Structure 1
């Protein structure tokens, strides 16, 4: 097994589940010492305990500036430095199918976690990195920040902002040898994309994911179902020296969704023409 992150110190926010959980585990496997940051203390601590002595847990609300500054200090004090900051924590917000039904009551919370958390997390990490030889900052966006669509408007707006912020701050921080990139996951099988309801059993979650699969597959050229491990592998590449000349990019991990429409409309046109002629 390669040790692409040997000797590195990484912070992963939202690391108690989903993409963050998988990425923290892979980073540690690849030689990094990892700080798991999450608002969920029980799950976060359990994940750190499972990973062993090279992992620590720090309860963190990424919408709180003091928590983020304390998180950076914690990583430095526990492991002697900070080389990688993965701003992964995020929420979908209220799940209204139509914008006119959304009272935007959770707008501040969505912006606080999805956008402020990324911006402040970047700043806190970069202030340390700028004085200590540089580093890598990775921000988790979404295909919802690339492709317009219906519903979840607060979420879409924040993810689009994360993408533009990432590109802008990559330019701003380059002089300090700090690389900044973003990922845009697509239909990755996590609690967030499955729209799980609190209190559901594991069996109910599986049934919901099976029911949603045709919906997710409808605009995805590759019908393979993406997992948090797929995103973690991309995060590993972007945070390693293999990507030493890469900054300011947004990497879609989406089975081809952002490549374009997977429907062969020309064939549909030919089929429609044939039906019209057959009925004439």
Structure 2
């Protein structure tokens, strides 16, 4: 406990899902947490629940000005910035096949998933570079590592985050700023459901369950991953245990990207 005592952390998309889990874990470890999210009610309620060591600011990360404002608010409210978690993300509209994709959500997905990460990294690094360094953690996905069908814009955005993270790590190492990425896989959150319209929700849920069933079959570790598993990885990157680690991408996926499961028949 108290691994992050006194450290200031900004978490985008921190009002629900993975971001909420990260905010709760960081606060439990003693961090002062600034939560940014478009979900105003959820974000404000979470900050109130976490107490005086947490604050919330409505933030759309696809607007770099709002990202900069979030970081400035954290510095003003808590006196500094040690950890930046670029977690906010959207999945985009799901289509039965790529040939049916009108790419209408391309700019929105790229704006949140890529531009938001780049702006958050840049603005956090501007502060950290003048104040002794820090840790930047970008949330990508195994969809950015492992090729596959469906949600093509989402996959492309998450692959972009990986390449950007490695490149930023090289450039920012001069300032003692570590930049790493976490790639969750098959962690249940509401990100897919949020992308569906009301009339499509049942179909999307059935489609998503089919995908998750296939992922379970492909996953070497058979237990389900949880938000807490991702939070544990983020805690590692945020704290001093990873002080010599930068430019890495850590899959939290039960071994999925390591390779296909080999099915062996038991001898009679």
TM-score range, shorter chain: over 0.9
Cα distance in 2, alignment partners of residues 99 and 148 from structure 1: 14
Q: Once superposed, which parts of structure 1, at least 4 consecutive aligned residues long, lie more than 6 Å away?
A: 205-212
**1:190, 1:227 within 8 Å by CA — same for their partners in 2?**
no
CA positional deviation for 1:211: 7.1
In structure 1, runs of 5+ residues without a counterpart are 269-280
* Residue 87 (structure 2) aligns with: 88
Cα distance in 2, alignment partners of residues 206 and 232 from structure 1: 25
* Residue 37 (structure 2) aligns with: 38
Please give the per-residue CA displacement for 1:54-100, whole angstroms capped at 9, x wherever unaligned: 00001000000110110111000000000000000000001113111
**2:7, 2:30 within 8 Å by CA — same for their partners in 1?**
yes
Please give the per-residue CA displacement for 1:222-251, whole angstroms capped at 9, x wherever unaligned: 111111111001100111000110000000
Cα distance in 2, alignment partners of residues 42 and 199 from structure 1: 21
* Residue 244 (structure 1) aligns with: 243
| Partner secondary structure for residue 191 of structure 2 | coil
In structure 2, runs of 5+ residues without a counterpart are none
CA positional deviation for 1:218: 1.7
Cα distance in 2, alignment partners of residues 218 and 195 from structure 1: 25
1:71-220, aligned counterparts within 5 Å? 71-193=70-192, 214-220=213-219
**1:194, 1:212 within 8 Å by CA — same for their partners in 2?**
no
Please give the per-residue CA displacement for 1:98-119, whole angstroms capped at 9, x wherever unaligned: 1111000000000000000000
Cα distance in 1, alignment partners of residues 208 and 101 from structure 2: 25
1:206/1:230 Cα in 2 relative to 1: closer, same or farther (>3 Å)? farther
| Partner secondary structure for residue 36 of structure 1 | strand
1:47-62, aligned counterparts within 5 Å? 47-62=46-61
Does 2:21 match 1:22?
Answer: yes
Cα distance in 1, alignment partners of residues 18 and 91 from structure 2: 14
CA positional deviation for 1:131: 0.5
Paired residues, number: 262
1:178/1:209 Cα in 2 relative to 1: closer, same or farther (>3 Å)? same
* Residue 272 (structure 1) aligns with: none
* Residue 259 (structure 1) aligns with: 258
Cα distance in 1, alignment partners of residues 208 and 224 from structure 2: 11
Please give the per-residue CA displacement for 1:32-51, whole angstroms capped at 9, x wherever unaligned: 00001100101110111111
Please give the per-residue CA displacement for 1:194-236, whole angstroms capped at 9, x wherever unaligned: 6785679xxxx99998776533312111111111111001100
Please give the per-residue CA displacement for 1:232-275, whole angstroms capped at 9, x wherever unaligned: 011001110001100000000000101101133xx58xxxxxxx
TM-score (norm 1): 0.88
| Partner secondary structure for residue 74 of structure 2 | helix
